[in-house]
Each structure stands twice: as C-alpha cells, then as structure tokens.
C-alpha cells in the first residue's frame, strides 16, 4: 500500500447512523479510556485500518461519552467490535483478540 490512508475515525451518537450509510464494510470499536484491553487493541485497530484502507472503514465510539448507540446495539462489555455491512451487524468481537482472528472475521465479508 503506498502511503497511509487513515480510515480510523471517531464517531459519536449523533453521527453514528449517518456513518452506517457508507458503502464499505464498517468495523465499529466500542471502547473507553479507562479500559486496559481497549487500549491494548488500539495499535492493532490502527494497523488494520491501514491494511484495509480501501475496503473497510474503522470507527471508534467512546462509550463513556456516548450512551445511546451502545445501548441500541446491546454493548455490555468493552472492547466490543461490530462488523457492519449494508447497515446490518454481521458479527461482533468481544474482548482483546489477535490480528489473525480479527482479519479472518473481516475477510468473511469482503
């Protein structure tokens, strides 16, 4: 990949639904500042957002600052990652996982 194209963006309750209208697959990262596993996943999520820059949009939503969206999607533990295609949740990943497992989940929907 020539150059880094950052497809990792911060979203909020007010623009989450709008982002879902994007035509690409979306990986939504539900996290919080105080969450150690969330922080442990940050580098992996940044790396994946660069690897899949042309195909997948990675978004981050802080659950402490936004309560409506996590509630709507039944997020009860963090980190939780939702893989969304055509505005539908295809799959969720809960907790810290390794890169191979994450990529296998993403690749099922490409």
Q: Residue 5 has what pLDDT? A: 56
Q: What is the pLDDT of residues 54-93, one digit of tens each?
A: 999 999 999 999 999 999 999 999 999 999 999 999 999 9
Average pLDDT, the chain: 93
Query: Nearest-CA neighbor of 35 among 92, 70, 80, 2?
Result: 80
Active site residue 38: yes
Query: Nearest-CA neighbor of 106 among 86, 87, 91?
Result: 91
Active-site entry in 8, 38, 45, 61: 38
- pTM across the whole model: 0.92
What is the rounded CA–CA span in Å between residue 59 and residue 21? 13
Active site residue 84: no
Report all structural domains of the chain as residue ranges with CATH numbers, in order of start: 8-107 (3.40.30.10)
Q: What percentage of residues in the chain have a pLDDT greater than 70? A: 94
How is the beta sheet containing 56-62 ordered, strand by strand? Answer: 8-10, 56-62, 25-31, 80-85, 88-94
């Amino acid at each position: 990949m020539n150059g880094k194209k950052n497809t990792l963006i911060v979203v909020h309750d007010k623009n989450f639904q709008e982002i879902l209208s994007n035509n690409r697959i979306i990986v939504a990262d539900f996290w919080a500042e105080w969450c150690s596993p969330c922080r442990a996943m940050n580098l992996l999520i940044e790396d994946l957002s660069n690897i899949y820059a042309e195909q997948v949009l990675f978004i981050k939503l802080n659950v402490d600052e936004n309560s409506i969206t996590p509630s709507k999607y039944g997020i009860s533990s963090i980190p939780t990652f939702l893989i969304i295609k055509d505005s539908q949740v295809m799959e969720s990943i809960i907790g810290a996982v390794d890169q191979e497992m994450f990529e296998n989940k993403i690749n099922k929907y490409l």
